[in-house]
Structure 1
Amino acid sequence: MRMDMRNFLELKGNLIYLKKLDKEYLEQYWENLSNCSIEATVFTGTQQVFSKSDIERYLEDISEDRSRIDFLIFSKESNEIVGEVVINDIFRNNRGANIRIIINRKEDFSKGYGSEAMILALNYGFGMLNLHRIELEVFPFNQRAIHVYEKIGFIREGIRRDGCFFNNKYYDMIIMSILEEEFREKYNYNKDLLKEFNN
């Protein structure tokens, strides 16, 4: 039986640390999702309402899914979950993937948690997963997130017109991406990643 070393992952930043989402965090994860701010729901276009049993099944499913890795974001100050960052749709042949992030409570916005989590996850994606391209989609009205993504190094590529149907309305989605050489040039794997971002 081969042990999945991803289960023991912990990536440390200055403000937060990331741990692989696993069944052991069911109670904390469920409680955190249950207290998600309406702003977080709107910015991510979340449309489903989940029960605890739905979450249990979800955790079981992702534990066997080799096309993704889900990280919980913990505040170093409180040691509580503040959100999650996920690298998914990993396509090994193209060395590409998608990334998404959510900070669940409005009171945790604008604290730098999301920026650190994205940089740590990207470093893992380009370094350990050997990815070449990581992309994301964002609503045009989520200007705060767009600003952060651009500061991190994501480039706008285009618009997916009427790409999301949310709250009885179609919305365009901005497609952004970052390539491994762009990330290396900006951060350099062996340097202090977060110091590079804050300069």
Structure 2
Amino acid sequence: MTLTLPIDSEANYLINRDPLALLIGMVLDQQVPMEKAFSSPWVLSQRLGHDLDARELAAYDPEQLLALFARPPALHRFPKAMAARVQEVCRVLVDRYDGDPARLWADVTDGRELLGRIAELPGFGKQKAQIFLALLGKRFDVRPEGWREAAGGYGDADAYRSVADVVDDESLRRVREYKQQAKVAAKAKAAG
């Protein structure tokens, strides 16, 4: 099963065939709609004129990369911060995984190890790491022993909590409802 978002078919195709595009989509998936986050890797590849490459992005001139992110329509609500974050993630991929994002999840012994690897990426706190782990397990058959447990509630088979659970318009609606309910609950808790 693959990830299917209501975005351009070429953008969907890219995030399903290119591990770096998928990872960049996850990096960008904050403070923007998930459709924007996961379509931006395709837009970035179009602006570069070729497929995404972690080595190239890691070594890219930061100001030129920012220009690619900021050009209208901007790839993210915060193009400067996200261009820098994508570059930082790509540098980790080059330093630790020879520039191959799929090696991030290759040869892990269990879900805990994979969660730890993901959580070491710049900008990936526990929740984001668990969501990406669930996304890999549910949509890309990356399922080391204990992956569901390591992903926490995001790994539940019948969950509708994150991008990992989106396969069609109905599941997207259910994920949005869950997120809205979570926001309301958080506000109520903060209010006290």
TM-score, normalised with respect to structure 2 = 0.31
Give the TM-score normalised by the residue count of structure 1.
Answer: 0.30
Greater fraction of residues in helix: 2
Structure with the largest fraction of strand: 1
